[in-house]
Structure 1
Amino acid sequence: MKLLSAEFIKSSVSPEQFPADHLPEIAFVGRSNVGKSSLINSLLHRKKLAKVSKTPGKTRAVNFFTVRTSDPKLPLLSLVDLPGYGYAKVSKTMRAQWGPMIEQYLEQRQSLGAVILLIESRVWMPQDVMTIQWVQSLGCGLIIVLTKADKLRQSERKPTLTEVRVACGLPAEVPVLLYSAETHEGRDALWGEIRAQFNGLQKHESGTSELR
């Protein structure tokens, strides 16, 4: 599969500003500074498409990107970068606004096919577990990605994957992947899981299965 194009579409600071609900969407969720924007840039073979900042909580809007590939089963989809939860160097008022916006997107967006939940491989928290449980309750697809995998020693990799799966109570069908935005390790594997989720969406549209 080749990535033919990727472009930024829109930033929305309220649900009323979300673009039309017409493309299958994959949403990226995670704590502030977990590396969502860096991962999106790596995944799309771009350096600056998604804005990256060293300041936690820099993503203050829901950002939409459109991706076109050579795969006939994955011709066109939307990637959605959601504001990070947890610590952020912004006002309490702004953080209070983020919560309802993120909840409304995840709970009501009809084109949402799957959530990619990012967890820092060496620093995961109870809040991550609660977010996983919430996403599972929504009934959409779920992919767990452990970021900054280049910081793990080889001997830590398999135990970390097992520890996260057990602690979060994840069933075998929920993939847990390691990813490094620095080395692009895990990029092909993540695209493979995204394609699998998209195939589920196609079956849903034909009436042979239900994803959400």
Structure 2
Amino acid sequence: MEYRVLIVIYKARRFKFYILGLLSERVRWITNLTHSPNNVRSPVYLNGILHWMVNDKSYKHANGDNPGCSSSIMLFNTTSEEFSTIPHPGDECGLRKKHDMMELMDMEGNLSLCDSRSFRYLDIWMLEDYENWFWGKRHSIEIEPLLEFCGIQYRYGSHVNLGGFYMYNKELLLKVCDNDLILYNQQTGSIRRVGKQMRKDMRVVAVPHINTLFIDIF
């Protein structure tokens, strides 16, 4: 019956992980790692495990190079308090890593990954075999209609910021250029806006309502 906080501290080119018990006020060291979770989004919590994308920038700052694609997803078992890593689905990134263009989400109670590295398609993968880490591609959504709906001229080869992916009533909720939230129906291909499009100097954020609390503090 203890509330626990996972803490990461960067020191001496290592990321030191601790557990803080809020009731006991005790701090326990867990492990040191060469990498840390991406702190832009909260983790996906499934099957007693927290899932994050690896933080490319902090890894490069600590190690001088980019993390490999084979260890691009971090896992933390909340029972055993052990970390592990798995590779992301799809093609490897090459020399220039693009893990910041991938986001994890919960889709139908399964770990899923949205990959926006392509200039033409948004690929959605689902982890179909948790034991053997087998991913299956579920959707490949053309990006051009999404941008045109938001009033953005599509240019092949130019990256437009897509992110903030969630499943909402079987529709994909995503953020375009930080100031527009849209819902995409993967069955019909229809697109509709959530609220109204903000000015370019404003940002919108979608926050899912869940019954478990995780807090990111920076």
| TM-score interval (norm. to shorter) | under 0.3
Greater C-alpha Rg: 2
Task: Point out the structure with the larger helix share.
Answer: 1
TM-score for the superposition, normalised by structure 2: 0.26
